Structure 1
Amino acid sequence: MPQEASKVSDPDADTKVAAEAVAESSKQAEAESANESGDEETGTAEGAEGAAGKKKKSKKNKIKDALSGKGKAGEVTDLNAPAGGILPKEAMNMLLANNPALANELQGKANNKDDLQKLLQALNLNEMLTGLAPQGSQKDMASHAFWKTQPVPSFDEMANKDNIKDGPIKEIDIEKVDKNPSPMYPGFEWVTMDLEQEKQLEEVYELLTNHYVEDKDATFRFKYSPSFLNWALKAPGWKKEWHVGVRATASGKLVAFISGIPIQMRVRDKVLNCSEVNFLCVHKKLRSKRLAPVLIKEITRRCYVEGTFQAVYTVGSLLPTPVSTARYFHRAINWEKLYDVGFSPLPHGSTKQRQIVRYKLDDTTFTPGLREMEAKDVDATLSLLQRYLERMDMAQVFNKTEFEHWMAPKEKPKEQVVWSYVVEDPDTHKITDYFSFYNLESTVIGNKKHDTIKAAYLFYYATEVAFEKDEVKLKKRLNLLMKDALILAKKADFDVFNALTLLDNPLFLEEQRFGAGDGSLHYYFYNYRAAPIPGGINSRNQASKDHMGGIGLVML
C-alpha cells in the first residue's frame, strides 16, 4: 500500500511543528476557559462571529504567537527542554499518538497511567517530535472506523504485548467467500488489469505517476517506471486477478488501483503463505468517494478466493495497528541537486561548498573481490541470504526462482531496476558477501531546474561475518560494503541513496553519513496478530543497534 515519501529532516521545520502544536492546544485551552467562565450577556450571534474569527487565524500567525509566547502554553525556543514544562497535556498526548515507536516504548516501561504521564513529562520536545507520521498528504487508506471492522489488531491489543499470541485473527471458510465482487458505485466499474498488455501497464503507470504517494509538502512524488512495475507486479506466482482496477464507466479511464503478489513470509517460527499488498492508488479528484475501503475489501476477497488468508502491507500513516515501525534515512550523493529541489536542507553554520565536500565519494571501490552478481552466483548467494535472514524475527522466505526474479532478472528491462553485487574470496572463490539496491525515481513538483530525483533504495544484503556473532566485526564489514554501494550508486548517476532502519542497517547509517528522514514506515499484518517486532529505532525514533534485527522484509 502507499509508502512514505520521505526527505531529510529539517530541525527548523520541527520547531514549527512544535509551535503549531502549542498554538493549537492553547487555542483549545482558551476556548474551554471561555466556556467555563461564560459571559451571560454575550449573544449567540456574537459568539458565533467570534468563533469564526478565531477559525480564520492563519497557521503563520499561530506559529508566530506560539514562538513569541502569546499563547497560554510556554514559549517554544528549545527543543531539548522538557515537554512537560511547555506543552499542555492534550498537546503531549496528541504528539504521542503520532509517534507509535515512542508510545510503545513508554507503555513498556510504565506500570500504570501515572507512570506513563511522568515518563511523558520528562521527555524533551525533540524526542516527541522526531519522526512524526506526516498528516494531510497521505493517500486515502480508509478511516479508523473502517479498520475496526477488519481482522487487524486494535491499539489496545498491541499495547498488551506480553499477552499477544502469534496467529490468525479470523478463520476463513473458503466455501463462504463471495465468488463475485461487491457492487461498485454508480458510474464506476471493476476491472482486472492485464499487465501483459502494454497499454494497460501504461495506464497503471500514468495513474501512479500522477496520483500516488507525495511527501507532506507535496514537493516529491514517487515515479514508478513501466520497467519497475513489471518487476514489482509480476513476481513468481503472480496472479492476474490480484491486479485490481476501477474504471469510470462513461470514459473508461482508470481511476483507482490496488495489487497483491504472493509471498512466503516467516514471522518468528511460523511461515505464512500471504499476499504482499501494494500500490493502492485513487485518483485525487475521487478521494471523497471513499474508494479505498472498497478496494481493500475487493483485494481481500480475491486473495481469500485463492486460499490466501493473510497479508502484509506498509503505510506511512498510522492505522490500527503496526507490528513494527521503521524510519527512513537518506545519504546524499549529489547534494547540490538535492538542496536545489528542497530535498536536503543547508544546516546552520555550514555552506554549500562544505556540504558538497562532506558528501563527496571516492571513484573506486575498496572491497577486494567485489563484482556484479552473475547467473553462476545465484545458488551460493541465495544460500547466504537465506541464512542471513534467519537471524530476523520477520523475513521473506525466498526460493531460487524468486531470488532470480528480484536480484538477478534474466530478462533485462528497458530501464535497469535492480543492481546486485557479490564479493568473491580471491583464494577460495567462495561468495562471502552480497548487497543490492533498486532504482525508484521521484518526480520533483514545481521546480524549474530539475524534474526528477534518481534515488537508489537499499534492498537486500548479507555477509558471512554476521555468523561470527561479533558485532564489532559485523559493523566494520557492513560499513565497508555500504561505502562501496554508495560509490557504485554514484557511478550509476544516482542523486541519493535511501535506506530504512531494517536488517542491521543501524550499524552503518551514521558512519556513512545518512541523515534521518522526516518519514516513518509502518508494517502491518492483515488477519494475523503478532507481538511487536523491533524496527531498528528506539523511543526517540533514532536508529538503534539495540532495536535492530527485527524486520527482514523489504517492501517496494
Structure 2
Amino acid sequence: MAPILLDEIKRRYCLSGRFQAVFVSKVAVAKPIATCRYWQRPLNPEKLINAGILRLSRSITCKQALNLYELTCQETDLLLPKIKVLGKHHLVSAFSLFTQYSEKHDLTACFTLTEFEHMFMPRSEIVYTYVIENDKEVTDFVSFYCLPMILPNNGIEYVIRTAYSLYNIAATVPLDQLLKAIMSIATKNNIDAFTVTDAMENSAACLEKLCFSKVDGLHFITFSTTGSVLG
C-alpha cells in the first residue's frame, strides 16, 4: 500500500509545479540516498508494560525496570532551570543557530524564518521546542513532536503518547545531558516513550548510554534528482 500512496503523493506534489523532493519510508521502495535507524526509550515503563508494549525478560522485575529508566540525576536537576520554551523573542537567534548547524550536514531541510516559526513554534500536545539562552543568544536547541495512539490490551484502552525527536543542537552542554533533561521535561508533559534517529550527532554510543533500544530502520529517498549515497 505504501508505494501506491507515495506515487499518489508525488503526483499531487508535481501538480503544484514542484518536481524534486525527499521522503522517508521504513521500506526501501526505491534506492535510498541515506539510511538510519529509529531508537526508542520508555519514559513511563509501568504504563508501557501494562499496555503490552514493553516486555521484560524473566530476570528483570517491574521495579528494576522503573529504576533502569529513571531520569532524575544531579546533572539533569542543574540543567533543567536553564531550558526555556521557545518563544517569539527567541526566533531570530534560534533560526540563526539552526541555519549554521544545518550547513554542517550533507542533507538538510532549508527554512525561511517564517517557515522555521511555523515548523517549530510550540503547539499544545503536538510540537515541543526548547532552547538554552546565554546573553540573549540561543546556544542550544531541541525540538520534538508527539503522536498519540490508542492501544487496547486486556479490555483496557491505553492512550500511548510517543515523542519523535526533530533536532538536537547541543553546543554548550553534552548531548546526552541535554537529551536526558528533555526527556525529563517530556515525562512531565505526559509523554510515555521517546524516539530518535541515529542521524546527525545522535550516535549509537550516546543512545545506548541513555537506555535507548534499536527499533525500525528509516530510508531517505529522493525523486527527480541524481546524486551519490550519503555516508
Q: How many Å separate the matches in 2 of 1:361 and 1:350?
A: 18
Identify the residue that residue 438 of structure 1 maps to in structure 2: 145
State the Cα deviation string for residues 254-300 of structure 1 (Å, max 9, x = none).
xxxxxxxxxxxxxxxxxxxxxxxxxxxxxxxxxxxxxx2xx555543
Q: How many Å separate the matches in 2 of 1:305 and 1:457?
A: 30
Of 46, 49, 67, the match for 1:339: 49
Contact kept, 8 Å, 1:378 with 1:404, in 2: the verdict is yes
Question: What TM-score comes out, normalization by structure 2 length?
Answer: 0.89
State the Cα deviation string for residues 502-524 of structure 1 (Å, max 9, x = none).
2211152112111111x111111
Of 434, 437, 459, the match for 2:166: 459
Q: Of the two structures, which has the highest relative contact order with CA contacts closer than 8 Å and spacing of 6 or more?
A: 2
How many positions carry a matched residue from both structures?
Answer: 227
Identify the residue that residue 328 of structure 1 maps to in structure 2: 38
2:211 aligned with 1:513: yes
Contact kept, 8 Å, 2:45 with 2:192, in 1: the verdict is yes
Quickly say closer, same or farther: Cα 1:429–1:300, change in 2 above 3 A.
closer
Identify the residue that residue 99 of structure 2 maps to in structure 1: 386
Counterpart of 2:118 in 1: which secondary structure?
Answer: helix
Q: How many Å separate the matches in 2 of 1:326 and 1:384?
A: 24
Identify the residue that residue 404 of structure 1 maps to in structure 2: 117
Tell me by how many angstroms 1:491 deviates.
0.5
Q: How many Å separate the matches in 2 of 1:495 and 1:296?
A: 30
Identify the residue that residue 194 of structure 2 maps to in structure 1: 497
More helix by share: 1
Contact kept, 8 Å, 1:482 with 1:508, in 2: the verdict is no
Tell me by how many angstroms 1:371 deviates.
1.3
Q: How many Å separate the matches in 2 of 1:447 and 1:407?
A: 38
Contact kept, 8 Å, 1:366 with 1:480, in 2: the verdict is no
Identify the residue that residue 221 of structure 2 maps to in structure 1: 524
Q: How many Å separate the matches in 1 of 2:125 and 2:106?
A: 31
Of 118, 125, 129, the match for 1:420: 129
2:182 aligned with 1:450: no
Counterpart of 1:388 in 2: which secondary structure?
Answer: helix
Counterpart of 2:96 in 1: which secondary structure?
Answer: helix
Partner amino acid, structure 2, of 1:528: T
Gaps of 5+ in 1: 1-139, 143-291, 466-475, 535-556
Q: How many Å separate the matches in 2 of 1:408 and 1:383?
A: 15
Partner amino acid, structure 1, of 2:214: A
Quickly say closer, same or farther: Cα 1:511–1:383, change in 2 above 3 A.
same
Once the two structures are superposed, the pairs formed by residues 241-260 of structure 1 within 5 Å of their partners are: none
Identify the residue that residue 141 of structure 1 maps to in structure 2: 2
Partner amino acid, structure 2, of 1:366: L
Quickly say closer, same or farther: Cα 1:403–1:339, change in 2 above 3 A.
same
Tell me by how many angstroms 1:529 deviates.
2.3
Quickly say closer, same or farther: Cα 1:326–1:447, change in 2 above 3 A.
farther
Q: How many Å separate the matches in 2 of 1:459 and 1:370?
A: 17
Once the two structures are superposed, the pairs formed by residues 277-296 of structure 1 within 5 Å of their partners are: 292=4, 296=6
2:26 aligned with 1:316: yes
CA RMSD of aligned residues (A): 2.1
2:87 aligned with 1:374: yes
Contact kept, 8 Å, 1:385 with 1:461, in 2: the verdict is no
Counterpart of 1:366 in 2: which secondary structure?
Answer: helix
Quickly say closer, same or farther: Cα 1:350–1:305, change in 2 above 3 A.
closer
Tell me by how many angstroms 1:419 deviates.
1.0
Partner amino acid, structure 1, of 2:230: I
More strand by share: 2
Tell me by how many angstroms 1:464 deviates.
3.2
Contact kept, 8 Å, 1:365 with 1:487, in 2: the verdict is no
Identify the residue that residue 300 of structure 1 maps to in structure 2: 10
Contact kept, 8 Å, 1:366 with 1:484, in 2: the verdict is no
Partner amino acid, structure 1, of 2:148: E
Once the two structures are superposed, the pairs formed by residues 119-130 of structure 1 within 5 Å of their partners are: none
Question: What TM-score comes out, normalization by structure 1 length?
Answer: 0.39
Counterpart of 2:208 in 1: which secondary structure?
Answer: coil
Identity among equivalent positions (%) equals 29
Q: How many Å separate the matches in 1 of 2:154 and 2:60?
A: 24
Once the two structures are superposed, the pairs formed by residues 14-163 of structure 1 within 5 Å of their partners are: 140-142=1-3
Q: How many Å separate the matches in 2 of 1:495 and 1:321?
A: 34
Which structure has the greater CA radius of gyration?
1
Quickly say closer, same or farther: Cα 1:346–1:423, change in 2 above 3 A.
same
Counterpart of 1:461 in 2: which secondary structure?
Answer: strand
Contact kept, 8 Å, 1:384 with 1:464, in 2: the verdict is no
Quickly say closer, same or farther: Cα 1:301–1:449, change in 2 above 3 A.
closer
